[in-house]
């Protein structure tokens, strides 16, 4: 820790590796969001993650590995469709939920028989994983239920001295968490993809060339335990849809997808356009930072409420709308 009580932000991989080897917590950049990492095979280190985030133990963690081979060492089975997806999309924003080996601690899987695994596509995260003799458990590096961090500063604001070091890999390129996918058998005996969470890998890319049906995981039996409605919560009330006619422009935050949207709010002072270029990938990259910036205004007393426009429901839009809905649900 630095003399200010805030964790240092830097690019010292050897220092990060040394801390992790001693069971400490390091925030790491990934292409999706920043993760709060610890040695996945050390229950005491993993327990520190839960404490730092105030995360309930029923919510399992994603384990990050350097390669497909490293993932295989942690699972008892890799169905052919999962192997195909891993070969195609790793490193990348895809998490696969697979039957775990006993070496994976109960704390990581919340006691369940499956472990969530991914190979992150960030050079710094990969370099770190390649140096370490163990995989890294890493949830998003934010207090439980809050907005995920996409910069080192976001991590510092949210976790402060609860993290020992923050590796600076710049702003995250994707900006949304990974897409989480399991494999299950359908009634006819065919493999079927089970989608636990939409994220940085779009449906269209996921199923391209994969001749496999898919369905959403259903609550309560097979939903991702941490996929709660009130997640990603800003502290300022967030509503979906345009502000009412009598809203006070000076005290109302507005978040739209493109510049032409909600023209009545075009000159409002607290308006954020997520994607001036009209690309969903740009909106994904900007989403959490924009939400945080507006929320900071709300917390400083400058705003009463934020109105956000849903984005088109295709490609990354599914994941963006999912995050917006969850963020809004915490204020119903
Ligand atoms: O992009 C990401 O996935 C980021 C980066 C750091 O890799 N990580 C991330 O972790 O978003 P977290 O903990 O914030 O969200 C992981 C989600 C949780 O909703 C958790 O319930 C679910 O993954 N999950 C973890 N293990 C699971 C399992 N075995 N079965 C089903 N869901 C699982
Ligand atoms: Mg999270």
When pLDDT is averaged across residues 17-22 and rounded to a whole number, the result is: 98
Structure confidence by residue, pLDDT tens digits, 245-296: 999 999 999 999 999 999 999 999 999 999 999 999 999 999 999 999 999 9
What is the pLDDT at residue 187?
81
Q: Is the pLDDT at 124 greater than 70, yes or no?
A: yes
* Chain centroid, CA 129 distance in Å: 19
> Which of 99, 100, 152, 226 best tests ligand 1's pocket when mutated (most atoms within 8 Å of CB)?
226
Tokens of 140: 């998003």
Cα–Cα distances in angstroms (integers) from residue 318 to residues 9, 61, 127, 259, in the given order: 33, 23, 31, 20
Question: Is 1's pLDDT higher than 60?
Answer: no
Ligand 1 mean position, distance from CA 330 (Å): 19
The pLDDT value given to residue 186: 80
Residue nearest to atom 33 of ligand 1 (CA): 224
Instruction: Give the ligand with the smallest distance to the CA of 178.
Output: 1
Pocket test for ligand 1, best of 172, 222, 224 (most atoms within 8 A of CB): 224
Helices 123-131 and 13-21 pack at an angle, to 10 degrees, of: 50
Does residue 121 have a cis bond before it (omega within 30 degrees)?
A: no
Q: Which atom of ligand 1 approaches the CA of 199 most closely?
A: 1
**61-110 tens-digit pLDDT:** 999 999 999 999 999 999 999 999 999 999 999 999 999 999 999 999 99
Residues 6+ apart with CB under 8 A from 100: 74, 75, 76, 109, 113, 114, 115
* Cβ(224) – ligand 1 distance below 6 Å: yes
Give me the pLDDT at residue 256, please: 98
Taking only the tens place, the pLDDT of each residue in 153-175 is: 999 999 999 999 999 999 999 99
Among 89, 49, 53, smallest CA distance to 71 is for: 89
Does the CB atom of residue 25 touch ligand 1 within 6 A? no
Among 177, 200, 228, 229, which residue has the most ligand 1 atoms within 8 Å of its CB, making it the best to mutate? 177
Instruction: Give pLDDT tens digits for 219-236.
Output: 644 556 666 767 778 999
Q: Is any ligand 1 atom within 6 A of the Cβ of residue 177?
A: yes
* Residues in the 5 Å CB sphere of ion ligand 2: 140
The pLDDT assigned to 224 comes to 66
Q: Is 92 close to ligand 1, i.e. is its CB under 6 Å away?
A: no
176 CA distance to ligand 2 centroid (A)? 10
Phi then psi for 264, rounded to 5 degrees?
-60, -20
Q: How far apart are the CA of 8 and the centre of ligand 1, in A?
A: 26
Rounded to two decimals, the pTM is 0.93
Q: Is any atom of ligand 1 closer than 6 Å to the C-beta of 184?
A: no
Residue 222: the pLDDT is 53
Closest CA to 64 of 143, 127, 145: 127
Is the minimum distance from the CB of 8 to ligand 1 under 6 angstroms?
no
**pLDDT for 3:** 57
Q: Using a pLDDT cut of 70, give the percent of the chain over it.
A: 95
Residue 198, both tokens = 């939409």
Res 221: pLDDT: 47
Residue 244 is predicted with a pLDDT of 97
Average pLDDT of every residue of the chain? 94
- Ligand closest to 91 (CA) is 1
């Amino acid at each position: 820790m630095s003399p200010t009580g805030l964790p240092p932000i830097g690019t010292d991989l050897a220092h990060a590796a040394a801390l992790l080897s001693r069971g400490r917590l390091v925030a790491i950049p990934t292409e999706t969001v920043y993760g709060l990492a610890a040695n996945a095979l050390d229950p005491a280190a993993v327990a520190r993650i839960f404490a730092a985030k105030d995360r309930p133990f029923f919510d399992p963690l994603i384990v990050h590995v350097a390669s497909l081979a490293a993932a295989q060492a942690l699972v008892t089975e890799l169905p052919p469709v999962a192997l195909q997806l891993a070969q195609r999309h790793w490193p990348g924003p895809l998490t696969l939920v697979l039957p775990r080996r006993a070496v994976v601690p109960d704390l990581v899987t919340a006691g369940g028989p499956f472990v969530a695994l991914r190979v992150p596509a960030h050079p710094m995260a990969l370099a770190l994983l390649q140096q370490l003799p163990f995989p890294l458990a890493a949830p998003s590096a934010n207090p439980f239920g809050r907005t995920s961090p996409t910069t080192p500063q976001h991590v510092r604001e949210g976790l402060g001295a609860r993290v020992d070091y923050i590796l600076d890999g710049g702003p995250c390129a994707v900006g949304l968490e990974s897409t989480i996918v399991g494999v299950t058998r359908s009634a006819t005996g065919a493999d079927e993809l089970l989608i636990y969470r939409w994220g940085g890998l779009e449906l269209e890319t996921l199923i391209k060339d994969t001749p496999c049906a898919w369905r959403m995981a259903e609550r309560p039996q097979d939903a991702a335990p941490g996929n709660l409605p009130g997640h990603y919560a800003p502290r300022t009330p967030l509503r979906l849809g345009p502000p009412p006619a009598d809203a006070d422009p000076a005290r109302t935050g507005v978040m739209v997808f493109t510049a032409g949207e909600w023209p009545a709010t075009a000159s409002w002072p607290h308006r954020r356009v997520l994607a001036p270029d009209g690309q969903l990938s740009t909106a994904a990259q900007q989403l959490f930072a924009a939400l945080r910036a507006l929320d900071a205004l709300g917390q400083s007393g400058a705003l009463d409420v934020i109105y956000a426009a849903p984005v088109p429901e295709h490609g990354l839009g599914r994941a963006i709308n999912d995050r917006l809905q969850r963020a809004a649900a915490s204020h119903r």
